[in-house]
Amino acid sequence: MKILRNYVLDEFVSVLLLSVLLLTFMMILGNLIKITDLVINKGVDLLSVGKLFLYMIPDLFIYTLPISVLSAVMLSLGRLSHDNEIVAIRSGGINLLKIIFPLFTVGIILSLLLIIFNTRVIPYVHYARRKALVEVGVKNPAAALEPGVFINSFDKYVLFIYEIKDNQMFNIRIYQPTEGGPTRTIVAKRGEFITDPAKKIVRLKLIDGAADEPDANNPKNFYKLHFKTNFLTLNLAEKSRDQEIEKKPKDMTLAELNKEITKMKTQKIDPGPLIAEATKRISLAFSCMIFVLIGCPLAIITRRRERSINFAIAFIIAGIYYLLLLGSEAMGLQGIINPRLSMWLPNIVLGAAGIILSLKICAY
């Protein structure tokens, strides 16, 4: 019995390690284009890019590890089932549950490790990445901007830039909303950033444009002022101090989230989104165990040896799980279902299906 357990476990672990490496590499490869663009086209220094790259990797494990667990289950048990080794085990009068029990144990252990990872490591990484992005924005603002989208990263101003090339910008629109009055608009054909990292000040040099200027007699009215060159100062110092970068829910540890939930309850504010975020981290961690639970019977039933087919089945199951998660999260945030329950719905649905299938295969 011990030999069989070790045999199945060795098969599973070897495929698991390979799957984690492969999936992580594929997801990193998808982001390498953006990283390369920051270095080559936007002139961001290698140290800043390296920090962003390192902060990106831990975030991937939230998804790559559970999917790798599912893939490893499908590949290892699928091969054993196709080669009739499962039939041989059953013929020897051995209950399959005893053979695959070590896989359930591994799934539980990985889920417990992911709880710590999701509630402590990931929030730190999110917050550190945000600070690194602020540093990049101070040193090279153009690197932190995207053309063709509204940018509200700067205090008091909303930017829309049609084209960005290196540190040069083309066809720029800047909006400055005024309280109780019309929005001030500045347009320019070209522009470039002039930075002072020491003072954490960014100046935007605008060329060939026009600006709305308030009328001295009636500040709510504007008149057009055409210019050849105009400078706009964007002070990022307040946003660049570590102590003043406000934490978002994704940046908070579980303890900080619970503290914020308690605070909002005392202020009579609905803490539903924070409850959903805290619960989601725990439920996502247990996806490893759920994928083992549903993957084991499916691999035995389908009896497929081909890696491509087993990978496809694994990704379909993972897709169903994450779609259920998105749907249940939306229902929790809208108040249709209690957020503490809604975040567990994917685990409940797939877990129940896994238990039923496991009992079915063990009954033979």
> What is the tens place of the pLDDT at every residue in 151-194?
766 777 888 888 877 678 899 888 887 776 677 888 999 988 77
For residue 108, what pLDDT is reported? 94
> Do residues 4 and 94 make contact, with C-beta atoms less than 8 angstroms apart?
yes
The domain boundary residue, chosen from 235, 270, 300:
235
> Same structural domain for residues 97 and 186?
no
Predicted confidence band at 116 (pLDDT cuts at 50, 70, 90)? Answer: very high
Residue ending a domain, among 208, 235, 262, is 235
Per the domain annotation, does 143 fall within a domain? no
What pLDDT does residue 238 have? Answer: 44
- Confirm whether 272 is domain-assigned: yes
pLDDT of residue 244: 55
**48 and 108 assigned to the same domain:** yes
Does 149 reside within a domain?
Answer: no
Query: Do 261 and 127 share a structural domain?
Result: yes
Residue 181: how many other CB atoms lie within 10 Å = 12
Residue 186 lies in a domain: yes
Q: What's the whole-number average pLDDT of the chain?
A: 81
CA distances from 142 to 167, 168, 184, 335 (A): 6, 8, 23, 40
**132 and 179, same domain (yes or no):** no
Tell whether 334 is covered by a domain.
yes
The pLDDT assigned to 37 comes to 65
Domain total for the chain? 2
- Last residue in a domain, options 235, 266, 293: 235
Within this chain, do residues 279 and 187 fall inside the same structural domain, yes or no?
no
Helix (H) or strand (E) holding 171: strand 168-176
43 and 113 co-located in one domain: yes
Q: Is 166 helix (H, G, I), strand (E, B) or coil?
A: coil
Q: Which residue has the higher pLDDT, 273 or 199?
A: 273
Q: 243 in a domain, yes or no?
A: no
- For residue 214, the surrounding DSSP H or E stretch is strand 201-214
Q: Are 339 and 91 in contact (CB under 8 A)?
A: no
Q: Is residue 92 assigned to a domain?
A: yes
- Full residue range of the structural domain in which residue 276 is found: 2-138+250-363
Q: Is residue 242 part of a domain?
A: no
- Across 203-230, average pLDDT: 81
In terms of domains, do 117 and 195 share one?
A: no
Residue 364 in this model has a pLDDT that exceeds 60: no
Residue 191 neighbours by CB under 8 Å, 6+ apart:
161, 168, 169, 170, 172, 204, 205, 206, 207
Give yes or no: residues 117 and 168 share one domain: no
CB 189 within 8 A of CB 179: no
**Domain shared by 95 and 225, yes or no:** no
Residues 116 and 255 placed together within one structural domain of the fold: yes
Q: How far apart are CA 38 and CA 36, in angstroms?
A: 5
Is 133 found in the same domain as 68? yes
The whole-number pLDDT of residue 239 equals: 47
pLDDT value at 241 more than 60: no
Q: What proportion of the chain, given as a percentage, has pLDDT over 70? A: 82
> What would the pLDDT profile of 274-302 be if each residue is shown by its tens digit?
999 999 999 999 999 999 999 988 888 87
pLDDT score of 358: 84
**Same domain, yes or no, for 358 and 223?**
no
| Angle value at C-alpha 114, between 321 and 30, nearest 5 degrees | 65
